[in-house]
Amino acid sequence: MGKYSLMMGSEALVRGAIYAGIRFYAGYPITPATEVAEYMAQLLPRAGGIFVQTEDELAAINMAIGASVAKWKAMVATSGPGFSLMQEGIGHAINTEVPLLIVDVQRGGPSTGQPTMPSQQDVFQARYGSHGSYEIIVLSPGNVQELFYLTIDAVNLSEQYRTPVILLTEEITAHLWEKIYVPGPGEYPVLPHATPPTRGDEGFLLESQLHDERGYNVANDPELSAKALWRLIRKIRDNVDKISRIEVKYFDDEPSVFIASYGCSARSALAAVKMLRQDGYKVGFLRLITLWPFPENTIRNAVRGASTVVVPEMNSGYIVNEFRLLGLNVVSVPKLGGEMPMPEEVYSIVKGVLS
């Protein structure tokens, strides 16, 4: 049996990670992700894990990759500037197929930008930040309860697909305290840790250039290189519908307008939908739980019949482009400055669309 607890988002994240079997954490303190490190330093050693404060974020992610290969479920947590420094390591983990959890508690950018204020400005960096062609899984928790469960899901997905998974949250959710349910041991599924396959006494080769299934370098062979890279891409791309999830509410009466959002902005969006419904407007609600791979088919299905999708987000308008690519008529509600969009703001924009 689990129990109810009043918890800060960062603590829920840490407890979720430990629940999922994370036993190695490396990181460098950075606002607003420092609480993750603090709770980790407190709770991880008690669970038999290792906490390391590294000299910088490059060391953190590379150390975590090493730990994961050495049979420890591992994670890092950071914010914007640190996330930028980790990009090379993310590509390395993708190419070497190392399961790893990467947390980015988003603050305002660019550069040191707004350290104490939330944003959703790293949505594209999470998808495209590392060099080369690749696919990646990025999850976006909507509240503290989901932050707990999605942390476990992220670790599970990273084990299942042998790839780094990014948990993209925001300062608001990481610092907010909410009543959450913490499940007891065995109540929520946890996958075993995947390490590189070994062949007898040979051990294994960990190769960051393109390689075959034995780990041998094939970077000079166009055909084998293409094969190796397509396999890495397809293991995500071909499983979009299994990996990616959305939440849809208020859709039964086939509304012509949907408000679609993610993370903390989705809370404003939902409040706006409720206000609009109260005033007699038929408006639907869609929330992305997985940002990448972008769940095209699921979304198309969910909003079929709708003529317009309104997308509030705390950046200059990123995810809205993905909806535009689906051929939908979109209205972007970009919000900069570090405050969540107000439900009233979203309300009046949607009302304008409807009239």
Partner 1 sequence: MRLEVRFAGFGGQGVITAGRLLALIIMEADPSLYVVYSPSYGFQTRGGDTLSDVIISHEEIDYPKVRRIDLAVMLTQQAYNKYCGLVKDDGLIVIDEHVNKDKGTCGNKRHYKLGIVASARQIGSDAYASTIMLGASINYLGNTEPLKGRLMLEHARQVVIRYFKETLLGRKVGIEDLINKNIKALEIGYEMMKIK
* Site for partner 1, rule CB under 8 A: 4, 6, 116, 143, 172, 175-179, 264, 267-268, 270-271, 274, 340, 342-343
Specify burial of residue 348 (Cβ count, 10 A radius: 0-12, 13-18, 19+): middle
Q: Which is nearer to partner 1, 179 or 234 (CB)?
A: 179
Query: Helix, strand, coil % (nearest 5) of the chain?
Result: 40, 25, 35
Instruction: Supply the minimum distance, in Å, between the C-beta of residue 34 and partner 1.
Output: 13
Q: Which is nearer to partner 1, 143 or 290 (CB)?
A: 143
Q: Which residue has the tokens 């900069």?
A: 336
Q: Which is nearer to partner 1, 144 or 240 (CB)?
A: 144
Instruction: Supply the minimum distance, in Å, between the C-beta of residue 292 and partner 1.
Output: 25
Q: Which amino acid is it at 90?
A: I
Q: Which is nearer to partner 1, 205 or 342 (CB)?
A: 342
Instruction: Supply the minimum distance, in Å, between the C-beta of residue 93 and partner 1.
Output: 33
Instruction: Supply the minimum distance, in Å, between the C-beta of residue 178 and partner 1.
Output: 5
Instruction: For the chain, count helices (H), then strands (E).
Output: 14, 15
Burial 305-328 (b: 16+ CB within 10 A, else e): ebebbbbbbbbebbbbebbeeeeb
Residues 68, 98 contacting (CB under 8 angstroms)? yes
Q: Which is nearer to partner 1, 51 or 177 (CB)?
A: 177
Rounded to whole angstroms, what are the CA distances from 113 to 31, 133, 266, 335?
11, 28, 23, 15
The tokens for 204 are 């294994």
Residues 82, 107 contacting (CB under 8 angstroms)? no
Q: How many CB atoms lie within 10 A of CB 201?
A: 5
Q: Which is nearer to partner 1, 274 or 351 (CB)?
A: 274
